[in-house]
C-alpha cells in the first residue's frame, strides 16, 4: 500500500470511531459527575429503591412558589403535615372537609410523588366535639370506625402508606392512656387497622411512633405489639420511626439492628418524620454534626432492604414545627430559612451517591 492509501485508511478509521468515543466518554462523564444540579435527592434515592419524602404544609405550598418547586424537584413522597389529621378533616362531627388534603394529593400526583397518609388515630389534634363530648364506649367505637371508613374511603387508591395509629406508647413502653385506650382497651389498635384495610385494601398500613429508633423499652414494646398483631393476622405492613432527634442527646443506640429486627418480621421500616434540632443560634460545628446524623440515618436505611421511605419533617427551617414545639431550639431541617441547602442536604446526597452497604430495596 502506498503512503497516501495508509493515510486515507487512517482518516476512515478516525471518522468511524470518533462518535463512539464521544458517546462513551460522555457516558463516563455522566457516571462520574460529582454532586451537581443533575443529581437530586429523589433521583439518587430512586436508584436504591428508596423514596425520599418531606412533610408538606398547605400554607407554604400555596403561598411560596420556590418551596413548592424544591418539594417537587427533590422529593418522591410527601406527608401532609396537618391536613389529614382529625381536627383538620372533621372539625364538626360528621362534616368532612378534605379540600386542603386533596390539593396536596393532587400536587403529589402531578409531581409523580407518593403520599403517606398521616394520621387516622392519635391523641392530639382532635376536635373539641370529640375531646369535650360525653360518649359511651359503643358510641366512641362507632365514631372511630366511621372516621376511618370515611377518610380512608375518600382517599382510596391515592395513599401509599397510612399511619393508622400514631404514637400509641409512653416512653416506658406502656400503652399511652388516651381517649381510645380508655374507651376501647388495647383492641382499638387492631380494630383501627382492620377498618382501614376494609376501606382501602391496597394501602400499606403503619403504626408510627417516636423514640423507637434505637433498641430500648419503647421499641421493645412496639416490637411485641406488632409481632402479636401479625400472629393474629391483623393487617399491618410497617412501622414508622419518626426520628425527631436532638443534637444534645446524640444518636439512639443500635438503630440499624433495631430496624433489622422489625424488618425480619416481614414489615417495612420507614423513617417517617426526621429532623435534628439544636439549641439556637446554630454554629457551623452544629451544622456539621447535624449533617453526620442525617447521613448516618440514611446509611442505616440504605443497609436495611425493608427501609423503603426516608421522610423529613419539613425539608426547610423556614416552615419547621420545632421552634414552636421546643423553646430555644430549631435549625432542624436540611434546607435553611432562605431555602438554601445546608450541610445536611449535601450529606444526604453523599450518602445516597456512595452508599456503604447498599442493599436491594423493596420486597
Ligand atoms: C406536628 C406538626 O408539625 C405541627 O405543625 C403541629 O402543630 C403539631 O404536629 N409527631 C407527629 C406529627 O406524628 O404529626 C407532629 O406534627 C410532630 C410529632
Domain carrying residue 317? 51-353
Tell whether 3 is covered by a domain. no
d(CA 316, CA 309): 18
Å from CA of 56 to ligand 1 middle = 11
Confidence category of residue 36, pLDDT binned at 50, 70, 90: very low
Q: What is the mean pLDDT of residues 109-125?
A: 98
- Nearest-CA residue for ligand 1 atom 13 is 166
Least trusted range by pLDDT, from 13-27, 51-65, 293-307 = 13-27
| Residue 307 in domain | yes
pLDDT in tens, 164-208: 999 999 999 999 999 999 999 999 999 999 999 999 999 999 999
For ligand 1, is residue 329 a contact (CB within 6 Å)?
Answer: no
Q: Are 275 and 322 in contact (CB under 8 A)?
A: yes
Tell which wins on pLDDT, 304 or 28.
304
CATH number reported for the structural domain that contains residue 327 in this entry = 3.20.20.80
Mean pLDDT of 51-64: 98
Position 5 pLDDT exceeds 80: no
Q: How far is the CA of 278 from the centre of ligand 1 (A)?
A: 18
Mean per-residue pLDDT for 318-342? 98
Residues 86-91 have a mean pLDDT of 98
Q: Is the pLDDT of residue 299 over 60?
A: yes
Report the pLDDT value the prediction gives residue 143, as an integer from 0 to 100: 98
For residue 337, how far is its CA from the centre of ligand 1 (angstroms)? Answer: 19
Give pLDDT, residue 363. Answer: 60
Asked whether residue 147 carries a pLDDT value surpassing 90, the answer given is yes
pLDDT in tens, 7-33: 454 444 444 444 333 333 333 333 333
**Per-residue pLDDT band at 355 (split at 50, 70, 90):** confident
Q: Determine, yes or no, domain membership for 43.
A: no
Among 121, 226, 231, 238, which Cα is nearest to 184's? Answer: 121
On whether residue 128 sits in a domain, the answer given is: yes
Cβ(321) to ligand 1 under 6 A? Answer: yes
Separation of 266 CA from ligand 1 center, angstroms?
Answer: 28
Query: 270-284 pLDDT, tens per residue?
Result: 999 999 999 999 999
With helix as H, strand as E and coil as C, how does the chain read?
CCHHHHHHHHHHHHHHHHHHHHHHHHHHHHHHCCCCCCCCHHHHHHHCCCEEEEEECHHHHHHCHHHHHHHHHHCCEEEECCCCCHHHHCCECCECCCHHHHHHHHHHHHCCCEEEEEEEECCCCCCHHHHCCCCCHHHHHHHHHHHHHHHHHHCCCCCCEEEEEECCECCCCCECCCHHHHHHCCHHHHHHHHHHHHHCCCCEEEEEECCCCCCCHHHHHHHHHHHHHHHCCCCCCEEEECCEEEHHHCCCCCHHHHHHHHHCCCCEEEEEEEEEEEECCCCHHHHHHHHHHHHHHHHHHHHCCCCCEEEECCCEHHHCCHHHHCCCEECCCCECCCCCECHHHHHHHHHHHCCCCCCCCCC
Instruction: Identify whether 95 is part of a domain.
Output: yes
Q: At what angle do helices 217-231 and 187-199 cross, to 10 degrees?
A: 60
Percent over 90 (pLDDT), the chain: 87
Considering all CA atoms of the chain, what is the largest pairwise distance in Å, rounded to the nearest integer?
105
Instruction: Assess whether 273 carries a catalytic annotation.
Output: yes
- Spatial contact of 247 and 290, defined as CB atoms under 8 Å apart: yes
Is the distance from the beta carbon of residue 260 to the nearest atom of ligand 1 less than 6 Å? no
Residue 177 domain-assigned (yes or no): yes
Report pLDDT for 11: 44
| Residue 38 in domain | no
**Between 38 and 116, residue with greater pLDDT:** 116
Instruction: Decide if 12 is inside a domain.
Output: no
Q: Is 166 in the pocket of ligand 1 (CB under 6 A)?
A: yes
Mean pLDDT for the chain?
91
pLDDT of amino acid 20? 39
Q: Of 151, 242, 273, 314, which one is the catalytic site residue?
A: 273
Residue 243 has pLDDT above 70, yes or no: yes
**Predicted pLDDT at 164:** 99
CB of 242 within 6 A of ligand 1: the answer is yes
Q: What's this model's pTM, rounded to 2 decimal places? A: 0.89
Q: What is the dihedral of CA 209, 210, 213, 217, to 10 degrees?
A: -90
For the chain, the domain total comes to 1
Name 297's Cβ contacts closer than 8 Å, sequence gap at least 6. 243, 255, 271, 274, 310
Q: Which of 15-24, 108-117, 123-132, 170-179 has the lowest mean pLDDT?
A: 15-24
83 is catalytic: no
Quick check: 34 pLDDT over 80? no
Determine if residue 250 is left, alpha or beta; phi over 0 gives left, psi from -120 to 50 gives alpha, anything else beta: left
For a pLDDT cut of 70, what percent of the chain falls above it? Answer: 88
How many angstroms is it from 40 CA to the middle of ligand 1? 26
pLDDT in tens, 218-242: 999 999 999 999 999 999 999 999 9
Amino acid at each position: 500500500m502506498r503512503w497516501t492509501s495508509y493515510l486515507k485508511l487512517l482518516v476512515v478509521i478516525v471518522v468511524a470511531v470518533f462518535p463512539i468515543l464521544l458517546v462513551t466518554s460522555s457516558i463516563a462523564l455522566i457516571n462520574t459527575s460529582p454532586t451537581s444540579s443533575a443529581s437530586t435527592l429523589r433521583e439518587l434515592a430512586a436508584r436504591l429503591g428508596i423514596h425520599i419524602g418531606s412533610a408538606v404544609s398547605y400554607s407554604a405550598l400555596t403561598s411560596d412558589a420556590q418551596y413548592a418547586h424544591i418539594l417537587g424537584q427533590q422529593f418522591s413522597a410527601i406527608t401532609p403535615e396537618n391536613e389529614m389529621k382529625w381536627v383538620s378533616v372533621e372539625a364538626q362531627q360528621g362534616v368532612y372537609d378534605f379540600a386542603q388534603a386533596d390539593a396536596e394529593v393532587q400536587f403529589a400526583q402531578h409531581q409523580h410523588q407518593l403520599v403517606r397518609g398521616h394520621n387516622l388515630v392519635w391523641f392530639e389534634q382532635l376536635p373539641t366535639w370529640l375531646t369535650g363530648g360525653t360518649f359511651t364506649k359503643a358510641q366512641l367505637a362507632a365514631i372511630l370506625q366511621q372516621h376511618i371508613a370515611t377518610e380512608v374511603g375518600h382517599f382510596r387508591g391515592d395513599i401509599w402508606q397510612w399511619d393508622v395509629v400514631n404514637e400509641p406508647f409512653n416512653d416506658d413502653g406502656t400503652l399511652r392512656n388516651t381517649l381510645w385506650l380508655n374507651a376501647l382497651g388495647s383492641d382499638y389498635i387492631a380494630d383501627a387497622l382492620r377498618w382501614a384495610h376494609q376501606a382501602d385494601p391496597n394501602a400499606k398500613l403503619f403504626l408510627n411512633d417516636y423514640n423507637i429508633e434505637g433498641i430500648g423499652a419503647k421499641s421493645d414494646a412496639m416490637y411485641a405489639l406488632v409481632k402479636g398483631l401479625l400472629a393474629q393476622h391483623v393487617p399491618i405492613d410497617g412501622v414508622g420511626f419518626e426520628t425527631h432527634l436532638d443534637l444534645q442527646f446524640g444518636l439512639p443506640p443500635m438503630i440499624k439492628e433495631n430496624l433489622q429486627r422489625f424488618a425480619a418480621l416481614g414489615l417495612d421500616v420507614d423513617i417517617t418524620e426526621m429532623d435534628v434540632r439544636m439549641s439556637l443560634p446554630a454554629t457551623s460545628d452544629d451544622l456539621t454534626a447535624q449533617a453526620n446524623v442525617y447521613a448516618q440515618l440514611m446509611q442505616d436505611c440504605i443497609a436495611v432492604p425493608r427501609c423503603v421511605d426516608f421522610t423529613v419533617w419539613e425539608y426547610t427551617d423556614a416552615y419547621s414545627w420545632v421552634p414552636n414545639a421546643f423553646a430555644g431550639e430549631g435549625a432542624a431541617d436540611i434546607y435553611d430559612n432562605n431555602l438554601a441547602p445546608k450541610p445536611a442536604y449535601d450529606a444526604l446526597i453523599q450518602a445516597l451517591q456512595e452508599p456503604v452497604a447498599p442493599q436491594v430495596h423493596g420486597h
